[in-house]
Amino acid sequence: MKPLKYRWITVGQEYRYGPKLGKGDDARRGTACTALTVPRAGSKPANVLVQWPDGHTAIVPSGVLRAV
């Protein structure tokens, strides 16, 4: 069974995408996205599959997601 929660990230919840300047997708910085999958406990790096309202999906590190 796949995990539904990883630290503060829960599948189906919205988070703000906020990577550092020059990292990740600058056009989507500060926008809301929904977590589709979360990593297993203890996995490194802890990558999360997210989807934006326009349908674009990406795999991002859990550290760039902030609670809305």
Instruction: Report the distance separating Cα 5 and Cα 37, nearest Å.
Output: 9
pTM of the full structure = 0.89
User: Does residue 26 sit in helix, strand or coil?
Assistant: helix
Instruction: Report the distance separating Cα 61 and Cα 63, nearest Å.
Output: 5
Per-residue pLDDT, 60:
96
- pLDDT averages per 10-residue partition of the chain, 68 residues: 86 95 90 95 90 96 94
Per-residue pLDDT, 44:
86
Are 30 and 18 a contacting pair, CB within 8 Å? yes
Per-residue pLDDT, 2:
73
Per-residue pLDDT, 1:
65
